[in-house]
Structures are given as C-alpha cells and as structure tokens.
C-alpha cells in the first residue's frame, strides 16, 4: 500500500508539473500573440495633422465696405498685407481687375479699381453676411433679413432680381450690399462702394 501511495503521489506531482509547464507555454504563446496583434493593429490615437490650412469663413463676413480684413479703399499693397498669404496678384493689374486672397474662401473675388478695392464679390455659400444670408438662400430669406432692401429687375434674366441693401447709417449713401437672384435663390452677392458695387458685369 505504501508503494502504491507513493507511486500515486508521484504521478499527481508529475501531472501537476506537466500542467504548469503547459499553462506557462500557453501564456507565453498568448503574450506573443497579443504583442504581435498590438503591433499590427492600427493606432487609435489621432494622427498628427499639419498646420491648419482650412479657411475660417466666419472671419470673412461680407459687409457693405468689404469682407474679412479687406475694406473698400485699401490699396493693392495694403490688401496684400492685410490677408494671410497675400493676394494672388499685386502687379500688372488693369484699371478694373480682380484679385483673390491666396488663402481666402472659395468663390471670393476682390474688385480693384485704379489700384484700390472697390467691392468684394461672393458666389459661394462659404461666405455669408452678418445677417447670415449667403448664395443659395431663397429670396424670402433675403426679404426676411433685409426688409428695407430695394428690389430691382435683373438686367438679363426676366425672372431675376437685385436686392440692394444700404447701411443703417443714413449718412452713408455710398456703401451697399447687392444680392443677385434668379427669381428664386441668391446666385451671388457683393459689398462695396457705389457705383462699382452695382456694376452688373463686374469689370467687363
């Protein structure tokens, strides 16, 4: 009996040792697999992004005297220094010509007359007026935002109209915002000084 008990005890110890070894190998395998998976898995941390280059359209609100840092009356050099990145052109301009801020919003053009800003044109929904009106909005939205706007027939489109908004200051009779519509929605808008702001063909 004593021998049998010893043999049984020895077998139990041996079995326990084998189980321990097997478990150690499994744990090692799992650890190696987890390490490999962690290395292969894509990182959930946000990727490093380059310096922000997106245009903050909120800074480019269209006004009766310009848009963003650009104001009617600025020279080409003043405008070039006023906007980050400068203008796309500063030389070789005609008496009436358009320039654009290199880092400005899409659809924004600056009319230069005799070397000075006369108006700013917008034909993209990325820029709005202080009242929130932008290209693509309905005529009803323009009427709601500017109930005192003067309405004029479009020069080329029988259905279209021009909504002309003068500043609230009675003394200012030169600056204005003009919304051009197709009879339904705003196609484009511009802010600047009269008479340039009301040129239908721009510099043409």
Task: Parse the chain into domains and list their residue ranges.
Answer: 1-34, 58-198
pLDDT digits (tens, 9 = 90+) for 107-116: 999 999 999 9
pLDDT at 63: 97
Q: Chain-wide mean pLDDT for the chain?
A: 81
Other beta carbons within 10 Å of 113: 19
Listed range (17-21, 57-61, 123-127, 195-199) with the worst mean pLDDT: 17-21
The b/e string for 139-153 (b: 16+ C-beta within 10 A; e otherwise) is bebbeebbeebeeee
Confidence of residue 168 (pLDDT cuts 50, 70, 90): confident
Mean pLDDT on 121-144: 97
Listed range (9-18, 50-59, 119-128, 171-180) with the worst mean pLDDT: 9-18
- Report cis status (omega within 30 of 0) of the bond before 6: no
58-198: CATH, from 2.60.40, 2.40.360, 2.60.460, 1.10.287? 2.60.460
pLDDT at 142: 98
User: What are the structure tokens assigned to 190, written together?
Assistant: 């511009």
User: What are the structure tokens assigned to 116, written together?
Assistant: 């000075």
For the chain, report the end-to-end CA distance as a whole number of angstroms: 117
């Amino acid at each position: 009996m004593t021998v049998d008990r010893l043999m049984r005890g020895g077998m139990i110890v041996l079995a326990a040792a084998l189980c321990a070894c097997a478990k150690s190998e499994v744990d090692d395998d799992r650890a190696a697999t987890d390490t490999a998976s962690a290395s292969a898995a894509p990182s959930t941390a946000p990727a490093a992004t380059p310096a922000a280059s997106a245009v903050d359209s909120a800074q480019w609100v269209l006004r009766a005297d310009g848009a963003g840092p650009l104001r009617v009356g600025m020279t080409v050099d003043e405008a070039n220094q006023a906007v980050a990145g400068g203008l796309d052109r500063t030389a070789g301009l005609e008496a009436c010509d358009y320039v654009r801020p290199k880092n400005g919003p899409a659809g924004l053009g600056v009319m230069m007359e005799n070397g000075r800003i006369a108006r700013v044109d917008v034909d993209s929904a990325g820029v709005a007026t202080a009242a929130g009106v932008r290209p693509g909005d309905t005529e009803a939205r323009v009427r709601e935002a500017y109930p005192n706007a003067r309405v004029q027939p479009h020069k080329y489109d029988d259905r279209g109209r021009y909504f002309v908004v003068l500043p609230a200051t009675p003394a200012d009779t030169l600056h204005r915002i003009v919304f051009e519509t197709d009879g339904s929605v705003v196609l484009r808008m511009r802010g600047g000084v009269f008479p340039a702001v009301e040129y239908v063909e721009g510099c043409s």
